[in-house]
Structure formats: C-alpha cells, structure tokens
Structure 1
Amino acid sequence: MPSTSETLTAERILEATEEVLRRHGPAKATVVDVARALGVSHGSVYRHFRTKAALREAVTKRWLDRTSERLAGIAAAGDRAPEQRLRDWLAALFEAKRHKAGDDPELFATYTVLVDELGGVVHDHIADLTGQLTRIIAAGAESGDFAVTDPATTARAVFQATGRFHDPCYAREWTAPGIGEEFEALVGLLVRGLRAVG
C-alpha cells in the first residue's frame, strides 16, 4: 500500500483505479476499493473526481490517450513521406491494440466494457485518431503523392476500412494465423487507391 504521506494526485488515483479495475472488473470495482488501495478515505478520491462515473471516464480517457499520443508522433513525422507515415501509423495502431488485448486481457476486457458505457470519450478518441489521419492524408495531397480532394472524408473512410485491425470487437481475430498478411494486403490496397495517377 502506498504511503499516505505521498501527495494524492489525480494521476496516482488513476493508476490505482486501473489496478483495482484489473483485479475486480468494472462491475465490482468501487471508489472505496480505490481509496483503500491508496490508503486514503474515499472522500479524498472524490475531491479529485466528483463521481464514480467521472473517475471511470478519466481512467478510460487515460487508457485511450496512450494510443493517441503514440500515434501523434508518427502523424507529425515530417521527415517521412506521407505514404510511409500512413503505413507506419496504421501499423502502429494495429500493434497498439493487439498489445493492449494480448498483454493484459483482463484490463482490456474491463476497458471494453467501460468504453461501451462512455460514448463521449470514445467519440473524442476516434475524432483525435481521424484528425491525425487527416493530417497525414492532407500532407500526401499537398505533396502530390495522394489524389485526394477531401482529406477529412478520406481519413474517415481509411479508418473505417481498417476497423477490423483496431476495433475491439475484432480482438479475437488479432492473433489468428495470417492476420499480419491480411493487414498488409488491406493497407497496400488502400495506399494504391490513394496514390496520384501519373
């Protein structure tokens, strides 16, 4: 149990919440469990997060943001051609989701439940990801690498087309034999479709 002399921060609460969710699952995890794990009163937790729902939303957003932050660096990598950035970004998204599902299946299952409950957090996450894709595709359009007139619409289409490789409802398929080849085939098809004719 952490020392109560440590400053109680929102980040410490979120770390403890994640551990409590891993152990108890979303149905049984309570704010009291989080407080107990931190060695504080549940009132101390409520001073940072006014409701259990606010705490769940914050911990889910933190979990989703880890993926967004990792991908943002690829989206902004101006030293790579847009096509390579697109391929790298899609591969990193697939890999991040596979790792989350495979490395910590209990927590992945817990977050899948929470994500279903928290539509606003998911909407914001998808908007962030499609925004990153839009920047990559817009850079390709500006450089003449992609024959695209509406980068935002194209980004949403690419995101939806690759859903099998990042939407948690497909997680069981992510370890299937040949899934990597299927991913590469789809990305190749999409990139060929985006390329400028010439």
Structure 2
Amino acid sequence: MPRSRSGAQSRDETHPADGPFTVGPSSRARPAPPSADARLLAIAADHLRRLGHRQVTVVGVAAEAGMTHANVYRYFPSKTALVDAVAGRWLREVEAELGAIADAPDPADDKLERLLLALASMQREVLARDPHLFAVHRDATVESRPIARRHRGRLRQLVERVIEEGMNAGTFSLRDRERGIAFIFDTSHRFLHPVSIQLDAEVPRDLIEARLGAVIRAMLRILRIGTL
C-alpha cells in the first residue's frame, strides 16, 4: 500500500537532520528540552558554585531535578563522577582554546609560549572566579582521576603537535622528541599544576606571569639549540 502524504510529512518534520528542534502544529521550530543528564549537570554546577564540592549531595541534586537519587545514578555512578563531569565541561572549554592556539598559523615557538601562558592564566582565572570548581580540578589532578588523566592526555597531544611542527620547520633542534616534551612539562610544572597555582593564589598576577615568562624564554632557547 502506498504511504500517505501526511505520514511522510510527519516523518520529514522530525528528521534528525533538523537538529535539536521539534516542529509543532504551528510549524515553528522550538528548542528541545534539555536532556536529563544536562539538567543534572546544570543543577550540580549551581550547587557546586554555591555550596562547595564537599557539600554537594546526589540527594540534593536529585530533589531539585524532581527525581529520585537512584535516577541520578543512572547517569552518574557517584557524586565524584557528577562533580568531575561539571569540571570536565570547563576543561573541554580550556582544551578548545588551547587547540585554537595550536592550530594558528604562527611559528611553533610562539604557539608554545602562548599555549603555556594561556593554560596557566585560565586556571588562575577559574580559581578566582569559581574556587569550588577549581578545587574539583585540583583534587582530580592530585588523585589522578579519569577526568584529569584525559585532560593531561589532550594537553600532551597539543604540545606534541606544536613540537612536531617546530621540528619539521627547523624551529626546534631536538634529537629526541619525547625528551623534549618531557622537558616542557617538567620545566613548566611549577606554574601549571593546580596545587602550585593554589599555593600562589596570593602572589600578584604580574609577578607570576613575569616568572613564567622567564622560564618559557629559557625553555625555548634550549629547544631551539637542541642541547637536551
């Protein structure tokens, strides 16, 4: 039996290619309601910002979402997984900014300097703006939780791309790429690790930036002459 025209039209109106919108009788696109996990993340982010990560509870998030705490565990297996997911959203924003630097049409040494300065700056900014979110990031790093390991892996990939580009262009003279990458992270650790950033919270920003800038300049000299 041939399909009816009305049935075909109905299917076309809700085709996935139309994106996250639904078309009602008025034929006007309306945003689809947020998914359950997105709602839970939004509520958890608000609780984290207001209460701190130690006071966030699955029961409290579930109550505001209008569901049982058992339902929350369908999406996040623990409170730690929930707050880590909140931190993960911010880390993906950080990685996107750093990725844009790595993709820029600039010399590799300039990109490496900008990448390290931006990573340090974004962490200091979130410490000042949202210290509870920073605390989750810090603890996840210290405990090497999955969210921190994934972030560390993505940072390494970005640095590796810049180093590879610099070696191919002759900007960096490295006999051993792995040793060069390790040197970059070892040298900048003092300014990029969240525990160190927390400890330096009261140090004037211009002083921290001057110290990091001096370290990066020394690092770049060594990478250029290849004495590693």
Give the TM bin, normalised by the shorter chain.
0.7 to 0.9
How many pairs does the alignment contain?
A: 192
Could you say if the C-alpha distance between residues 148 and 11 of structure 1 is closer, same or farther in structure 2, counting changes exceeding 3 Å? farther
Aligned partner of 1:66 in structure 2 is: 93
Q: Matched residues in 2 for 1:175 and 1:146: separation?
A: 35
Pick the aligned partner of 1:112 from 119, 138, 146: 138
Superposed counterparts of 1:87-166, under 5 Å? 87-166=113-192
Superposed counterparts of 1:33-48, under 5 Å? 33-48=60-75
Aligned partner of 1:19 in structure 2 is: 46
Could you say if the C-alpha distance between residues 82 and 155 of structure 1 is closer, same or farther in structure 2, counting changes exceeding 3 Å? same
TM-score by length of structure 1 reads 0.84
Aligned partner of 2:210 in structure 1 is: 181
Q: Which has the higher helix share?
A: 1
Point out the structure with max Rg over C-alpha: 2
Gapped regions of structure 1 (runs ≥ 5): none
Gapped regions of structure 2 (runs ≥ 5): 1-31
Q: CA RMSD in A?
A: 2.3
CA offset digits 1:170-196 (Å, max 9, x no partner): 123255242121111101000111114
Could you say if the C-alpha distance between residues 196 and 116 of structure 1 is closer, same or farther in structure 2, counting changes exceeding 3 Å? closer
Pick the aligned partner of 1:192 from 181, 200, 221: 221
| Counterpart amino acid of residue 183 in structure 2 | A
Could you say if the C-alpha distance between residues 111 and 141 of structure 1 is closer, same or farther in structure 2, counting changes exceeding 3 Å? closer
Aligned partner of 2:55 in structure 1 is: 28
Q: Shift of the alpha carbon at 1:117?
A: 4.3
Higher RCO, 1 or 2 (CA under 8 Å, sep at least 6)? 1
Q: Matched residues in 1 for 2:144 and 2:65: separation?
A: 25
Identity %: 30
